[in-house]
Chain A
């Protein structure tokens, strides 16, 4: 954690970058209390400010999450093209509600606002990979493929 923090000048200007990095470095993809304290100390801000910032942005989590994070676009263009169904399909297929993590810790299901790939709506993002022109069949196929990939790794 220390070497990661040393990359950044001790200024609140780098707080978002620091929080991104700390979260990415955590296997459970969240900001631990220790990480938040370290970030606060590094930029010289009260812990309450840092927690305030971290809880404002949807890409940060203060709860442990799955190894992969699924973000289903819920913006109006995707809704018009059937995103609501996708979220239902994923809920059933994974057995979790939006915001929840599967019991094996493989996936966290989240919804997100516009991903900016509306030309291929409805769309979702799994970690940094984008998937578009989705149908119920494609969504379940993608999840099953990722599960198989992870099992053989």
Chain B
């Protein structure tokens, strides 16, 4: 790597692309070249800086200066002042201006540690930042697969896809067999969720190493990363990471000279929310309609091509390498006793600073919304937060102090789910929002089982009647009734989990649901 006096990290992610990062980067390189700084100042593309909602973000090292909302017209001033004279341009700095960035430095970052710091398309940089240390450690020390599973069990890592099932236990349950598969579920479709995208775009080698370690632990020979078709940049970066790792001998036959052989392939989805359900995802890889399978048997026994298969979420797998390198005790020093580690949340809707944040498990909801999300937009009053995506539950003001982990939310019959936090201010209508959620589910119901197919349609009809003032007495209770029937009889979590938004909306915001007689 060429040595340079200063590095300017340009975050290239979907949000920055929207804000015109390519033009800014071009202007920056041109201005540096013009000033004769092309060699001295190196411009590096990185993934997401972990502070969304700031347009084009530039980080200047070693000064540690963070610039936000940089436009092409700002570039010349920036280069002249900061790069030439060494005076940071105060007007463009975001450190100190928002809670998000000041808190950034103090936050523990496990999965997002390298995001926005390294060039995600460079294997060298990933290795310099510690990638593949975990798999090297396992191979060098001759750690057995059983010991690796034991380590992950000790760490207390739980699945970050929504259900929170202990990862080590899932690996331990995998049936014996000659051929096994690891699938990384990157079909991130839960509305309001984009944490996995940032890992895929910002640190794909960390994820790849997590997949390798999972493969080693259960004795698999092949892994798949199933990425939703809409995530073009994620697909590109993951494919690049796989190609580079394979060329470097980190994938393929006899990895790092050991007897462990493993390869990984990217699978591109084609637009189906239900494929986020693990058995539907398996069907999709097999080239079929994404219909969920009946469980049991679970994928650990009968999965892809009827072979034992482990399906893990992106964020889950990204946690594995640091656990291997730094140990279970280190991991347990974060978060709570039953949910160790951190969680990546996306904060959206009516907040000042929408974006994402990685915080310790158990952090109170109030802190996440006000400290990291900057509070409710425009000084309005908080009404509700929908937690865990469309299939999540609403909480009201009285529940803001809930500790955000898999167990804390159970107290309020909620779920952590995908970690999406949608904030709703006093002016928004819960009835309208619920209607939107129900329409979403009607569209995404795969149609395989009757309770979900007809249930989602009936719910949309009812909620439409309620919001247009045409509902009769008992119609609001009927909403909950139908959702409850779906919970009991639907084949997969899509139909089963509608009870969460429906029941929490009706129970906590009953006064908004008006019927003709009421």
Contact = CB atoms under 8 A, between A and B. Distances in A.
B229 interface: yes
A130 B197 CA distance: 14
Given A53-B287, A80-B436, A113-B189, A16 B269 contact: yes
A111 B189 CA distance: 14
B15 A58 contact: no
A112 B271 contact: yes
A76 B422 contact: yes
Interface residues of A, number: 43
Interface stretch (B72-80, B132-140, B213-221, B350-358): B350-358
Interface size class of B (residues with CB under 8 A): 35 or more
Max chain A CB contacts within 10 Å: which of B18, B272, B420? B18
A133 B55 CA distance: 11
B273 interface: yes
B428 interface: yes
Given A12-B288, A14-B287, A76 B270 contact: no
Interface string A1-41: 00000000001111111011000000000000000000000
Interface stretch (A87-95, A100-108, A120-128, A143-151): A120-128
A49 B289 CA distance: 9
Contact of B191 (A71, A75, A131, A133): A75
A77 B349 contact: yes
Contact of A113 (B18, B191, B267): B191
Interface in B196-248: 197, 228-232
Contacts of B188: 116
Contacts of A131: 18
Nearest to B446: A56
Nearest to B266: A17
B287 A16 contact: yes
A152 B422 CA distance: 42
A21 to B, nearest CB: 10
B44 interface: no
Contacts of B433: 76, 79-80
B192 A76 contact: yes
Given A14-B287, A43-B287, A75 B440 contact: yes
Contact of A56 (B52, B289, B354, B424): B289
A117 interface: yes
A59 interface: yes
A71 B273 CA distance: 15
A13 B288 contact: no
Contacts of B18: 117, 120, 130-133
B348 A119 contact: yes
Interface of A: 11-17, 19-20, 43, 45, 49, 52-53, 56-60, 71, 74-77, 79-81, 112-121, 125, 128, 130-133
A135 to B, nearest CB: 14
Interface string B342-375: 0000101110001110000000000000000000
Contacts of A52: 288-289
Interface string B433-458: 10011011001101000000000000
Contacts of A20: 229, 268, 270
A78 to B, nearest CB: 8
Contacts of A13: 285-287
19 contacts: A13-B287, A16-B269, A17-B268, A20-B229, A45-B287, A56-B272, A57-B269, A57-B270, A76-B390, A77-B422, A113-B443, A116-B194, A117-B194, A118-B348, A119-B52, A119-B346, A125-B230, A130-B17, A130-B18
A77 B194 CA distance: 12
Nearest to B286: A12
Contact of A12 (B271, B287, B390, B422): B287
Contact of A119 (B273, B290, B354, B439): B354
Contacts of A53: 287-289
Nearest to A14: B287
B263 interface: no
Contact of A75 (B192, B197, B285, B346): B192
B15 A132 contact: yes
B440 A76 contact: yes
Interface string B249-290: 000000000000000000111111100000000001111111
Contact of B272 (A58, A75, A79, A81): A58
B319 interface: no
A15 B422 contact: no
A127 B171 CA distance: 39
B192 A118 contact: yes
Contacts of B428: 80
B317 to A, nearest CB: 18
B504 to A, nearest CB: 14
Max chain B CB contacts within 10 Å: which of A60, A125, A130? A130
B164 interface: no
Contacts of A132: 15, 18
A112 B269 CA distance: 14
Given A57-B269, A57-B290, A113-B191, 18 more contacts: A12-B288, A16-B269, A16-B284, A17-B268, A19-B270, A20-B270, A49-B288, A52-B289, A60-B270, A76-B433, A79-B433, A114-B273, A116-B228, A116-B231, A118-B420, A119-B15, A120-B53, A125-B230
B174 interface: no
A128 B349 contact: no
A117 B14 contact: yes
Contacts of A120: 15, 18, 53, 354
A17 to B, nearest CB: 6
B112 interface: no
B270 A114 contact: no
Nearest to A20: B268
A76 to B, nearest CB: 5
A74 B273 CA distance: 13
A15 B268 CA distance: 11
B287 A117 contact: no
B52 A58 contact: no
